[in-house]
Structure 1
């Protein structure tokens, strides 16, 4: 809108200047033609009725000796009279005591005058804002015989006209400046009205999330196009909520299926030896056997061991299913980590704290659980190494505390990196694959994160970041 107003202003200004200039030129030419016609009539009357000299070329300078100044003064024209060869005979440009340059009419101009259909030539020249209109035509005697050439020159000072044009443009500029200010104001309020609705829509779109309830957009005043967009967004929100509900239900069902499969698999493992033990005892049971008590005790011990295994499986799944309680207490983490490492007998476990003392607000039990789980995994990764090495570091970084557990074990292949924190994933022959997912839940419950880097054949580094407060 602003650009259009600006372009319109410039175009109108250009057209105005051009039109003013053309009108000025036309006016000057018409004015000159009127003066020219009057001067010619006066000269013709002088030749027909007032002169006592014979009307011929030789007497032209005598006939208009004084009269040429009167005609020039009355019509405000410069008058010059030439013979047919273009030689100057008389001119009003100077009085009797002044001499002027007697420049003849160029031969080209004489030829053009002779060949022109109406035997008249008009020349317009502008020099330093002063315009000159000059006409050349033949002078005839009473019998319409050519006896000379008449040059009439009209001088027009355009400075006044230029001044008027400047005044007009300045007034026009003031009008367009006012229009420009109005246009800017209208554009601002109009764009604000439009963008306010769009800003509301964009803010709502930025806040749209998959796993939360999204609010619909409600606008009281908006254009029909904006309302169509709002309606489309609201419909999308309805469809999104339906899709999220279906997706959540599907994920829950899938999770329960996977969990049921895993529990069934883990429970079947101890049930098989229990079944074999019972069948074997039933087949070999002899009440009269002298060693019946020892055999019964052995049988009972076997069953109890398998029952304990099933109990540990149930406890592990129960611990994984429930989120860890965010119990916070001020503990000195350097000593707590050392306490957690004291339970391991492996001499290649090195504890390298980078701080002498470091206090944090965490659950001591959960912290020990994190450290022991990571160290156990490191021990299992290095059990076939000739010179195993496990390093545990604790350091402060900004308002966080870092626990770094590194080993020189076999490393994690690239195709298994994305599965490390998946429940029931394990590369070991025993275990349920719940250790790393469980401690990941603990760490994230405290607002921290766990990450790792690994190279096959070189080792793995786990980094735990926990907030101090």
Structure 2
């Protein structure tokens, strides 16, 4: 397809296809109706002319049988009779003798152009078994179809005896005779066709819209990112139901796989966490063990410095025990977040209160609104911001003034919190692991801070992302729903 060329939508193509079929059917039925009515009109006209000619011949035969008419006086005696018979039957009549020469007609003689019957017609008439010959042709001068009938009028039953006269019936009938019949029905046909077209347009549009709506609904649900995929309710038993059933099966399979994957990931995370906790606990236990063994080996109750040595050992033991307690507290906080309590808070004021805890001369707050209202847990927002600001301060580069920018923005129903520092930055390879448990870039700590931050953000259907440039700084972006 050429660049810029746009294809018709599926709905329009289905609509036009169904409409085209409907219009072809309507046109076909209209044409057939016209041909049928036309044919019926012609047959009726031919039958009417035939019945009139038979009636006229019967009148002529009656006249010659009851009046003393012969070959010599036929022209004289039949003139008035022809006038009467012609008026009754609404047909013109011309009589010729047995050799095809003009005798008499209900028309004036100067109007009769054919004074002799054509030889070929005469021969054919004598060769016919029933004594009649019909010709039909179009007379361009009159603009009419002419149905000419030549019939033998006999006064003797013997076919070998020449006829008393040859009767010529120039039966004109016009095209508008059956067109008039068609016109009687044309208004009805047009009305029916208009209604059929409108109905076809409506039905075509409804069908095409229903098909495309169903396909669009299925497509939107399949491509809907960031939300839980849900099975589609579709009760119709058609071709699309196969697609819907396949999609629903896929949803259930994905859910099972997701749950299985989450379970595996949790097990892996807890195993790694257990290893990290064991490692952090062993670190203080080793010096504690060595201190006690050394004290036991050198213990002397008479030593004048025994009190100082006991006091020194006690301090070492207390420090190591406190370190173990710190590890246990960090692990406990990660394993179970406090139950959240949602309140409507002023994010601008809340961030200012949190910043006051730190050395705020290097922390700058910017907001696109004076009062950004957010439905959130106060403890959660405090822990999130405290963790991010602490990480930003700890990324300080020696010899460079540390600057932390906090940007607050609200657009529609979303709130964005950005925390940016000018610190040492994070290597690109480590960015992918930054939210994983026990990952840290510092020499000490459990590496659970950012993991807890992400967990708290995701509990509110939010998202957190990080970008960093080594040697220039890092900034975190949190997007949260307003929740109001």
Q: Fold-level match, TM-score > 0.5?
A: yes
Alignment partner, residue 153 of structure 1:
170
Cα displacement (A) at 1:459: 3.5
Alignment partner, residue 100 of structure 1:
111
Aligned to 1:423, the other structure's residue is in SS state coil
Correspondence for 2:271 among 254, 257, 262: 257
Cα displacement (A) at 1:90: 6.6
Alignment partner, residue 288 of structure 2:
274
1:122 aligns with 2:142: no
Deviations 1:128-176 (A, max 9, x none): xx97441254879986779998642224578887777777788999999
Aligned to 2:93, the other structure's residue is in SS state strand
Report the number of matched residues: 427
Please show how residues 39-118 of structure 1 align to structure 2 within 5 Å.
Answer: 42=60, 50-52=70-72, 68-70=82-84, 72-73=86-87, 75-80=89-94, 89=102, 92=105, 94-95=107-108, 99-100=110-111, 102=113
Please show how residues 312-331 of structure 1 align to structure 2 within 5 Å.
Answer: 312-327=326-341
Alignment partner, residue 462 of structure 2:
449
Deviations 1:274-331 (A, max 9, x none): 3444455455556665544444433333332222111111101111122223346777
Q: How has the CA–CA distance of structure 1 residues 291 and 332 changed in structure 2, closer, same or farther, with 3 Å as cutoff?
A: farther
Please show how residues 144-223 of structure 1 align to structure 2 within 5 Å.
Answer: 151-156=168-173
Alignment partner, residue 447 of structure 2:
433
Correspondence for 1:32 among 49, 59, 79: 49
Correspondence for 1:311 among 294, 305, 325: 325
Counterpart-to-counterpart distance in 2, 1:328 and 1:230? 39
Counterpart-to-counterpart distance in 2, 1:295 and 1:137? 155
Deviations 1:195-218 (A, max 9, x none): 9xx9xxx9xx99xxxx99x99x9x
Superposed CA RMSD? 6.2
Cα displacement (A) at 1:70: 4.8
Correspondence for 1:350 among 348, 360, 364: 364
Q: Which has the higher contact order (CA 8 A, sep 6+)?
A: 2
Q: How has the CA–CA distance of structure 1 residues 260 and 177 changed in structure 2, closer, same or farther, with 3 Å as cutoff?
A: same
263-272 or 248-257: bigger deviation:
248-257
Counterpart-to-counterpart distance in 2, 1:268 and 1:50? 152
Q: How has the CA–CA distance of structure 1 residues 146 and 419 changed in structure 2, closer, same or farther, with 3 Å as cutoff?
A: farther
Q: How has the CA–CA distance of structure 1 residues 126 and 444 changed in structure 2, closer, same or farther, with 3 Å as cutoff?
A: farther
Cα displacement (A) at 1:373: 0.9
Contact 2:153 2:167 in 1 (8 A): no
Counterpart-to-counterpart distance in 1, 2:429 and 2:249? 41
Counterpart-to-counterpart distance in 2, 1:424 and 1:250? 17
Q: How has the CA–CA distance of structure 1 residues 100 and 422 changed in structure 2, closer, same or farther, with 3 Å as cutoff?
A: farther
Q: How has the CA–CA distance of structure 1 residues 391 and 281 changed in structure 2, closer, same or farther, with 3 Å as cutoff?
A: same
Cα displacement (A) at 1:337: 3.3
Cα displacement (A) at 1:68: 4.8
1:462 aligns with 2:481: no
Unaligned residue ranges in structure 2 (runs of 5+): 1-17, 198-202
Unaligned residue ranges in structure 1 (runs of 5+): 54-59, 181-186
Counterpart-to-counterpart distance in 1, 2:411 and 2:446? 34
